[in-house]
Amino acid sequence: DAKTTQPPSMDCAEGRAANLPCNHSTISGNEYVYWYRQIHSQGPQYIIHGLKNNETNEMASLIITEDRKSSTLILPHATLRDTAVYYCIVREEGGGFKTIFGAGTRLFVKA
Amino acid sequence: EPEVTQTPSHQVTQMGQEVILRCVPISNHLYFYWYRQILGQKVEFLVSFYNNEISEKSEIFDDQFSVERPDGSNFTLKIRSTKLEDSAMYFCASWQGTYGYTFGSGTRLTVV
């Protein structure tokens, strides 16, 4: 089962930052935090991942607390196309480890 | 940007028939996966495949399911005798070792 807890849904105004929280209090030292999203019925899309340092790419920023028990995905300027289900996943880095998807957070970006 | 390609996008089959879902992973990726998503439910892991063999499979992946990489490029999922409850979106994914998985756009399987 998924090792993370996320709110089932959130709203965000278009153009504002969307901050999606995730709790992963049982994360182990060699587990990374991954974020994916799924727009409608499309395949999940990788967004970002990190171990303990904050990470940023062209899509989003990932803030991981110092104790690594929680994290926040930040979409700096949400658009209507960012409406999707966002999944926070913890797993070891490596291809041999399966990725388990939970229910995620359904983000609604409103005009 | 490289893509994972899945065909067909939609398949309708009679209960009890065999279906083969096809995937072309990204060429330099080493790990391959199948997931499924029943309408309105979570994305569920089925199987992972590395070095031409299954590395892990879920309880869902029973004897009715099989995977193979017949020609070094295609990656297929076969369901031998489909049931109504096999109706779902099936996603193929591949991974090369650095970022996250790259998923295909899926095959919607409808068993009637």
B41 contacts: CB under 8 Å, gap ≥ 6? none
Q: What's the pLDDT at B96?
A: 84
Q: How many CB atoms are closer than 10 A to CB A38?
A: 20
- For residue A100, which residues of chain B lie inside 8 Å, CB to CB? 45
Q: What's the pLDDT at A97?
A: 79
Regions of chain B with pLDDT less than 50: none
Interatomic CA distance for residues A80 and B30, integer angstroms? 35
- For residue A1, which residues of chain B lie inside 8 Å, CB to CB? none
Q: What's the pLDDT at B57?
A: 95
Task: Compare CB distances from B56 to A44, A98, A103 and report the shortest one's residue.
Answer: A98
* Chain B nearest C-alpha distance from A95 (Å): 6
Q: What's the pLDDT at B110?
A: 98
Contact flag A44-B45 (C-beta cutoff 8 Å): no
Q: What's the pLDDT at A94?
A: 76
Regions of chain A with pLDDT less than 50: none
Q: What's the pLDDT at A12?
A: 97
Q: What's the pLDDT at B24?
A: 96
Contact flag A96-B56 (C-beta cutoff 8 Å): yes
A–B interface: beta-carbon pairs under 8 A: 59
- For residue A99, which residues of chain B lie inside 8 Å, CB to CB? 33, 45, 100-101
* Chain A nearest C-alpha distance from B71 (Å): 21
Q: pLDDT tens digits, residue range B92-104?
A: 999 987 788 999 9
Flag whether residue B60 sits within 8 Å of chain A, measured between CB atoms.
no
Interatomic CA distance for residues B54 and B18, integer angstroms? 21
3-state secondary structure of A16: coil
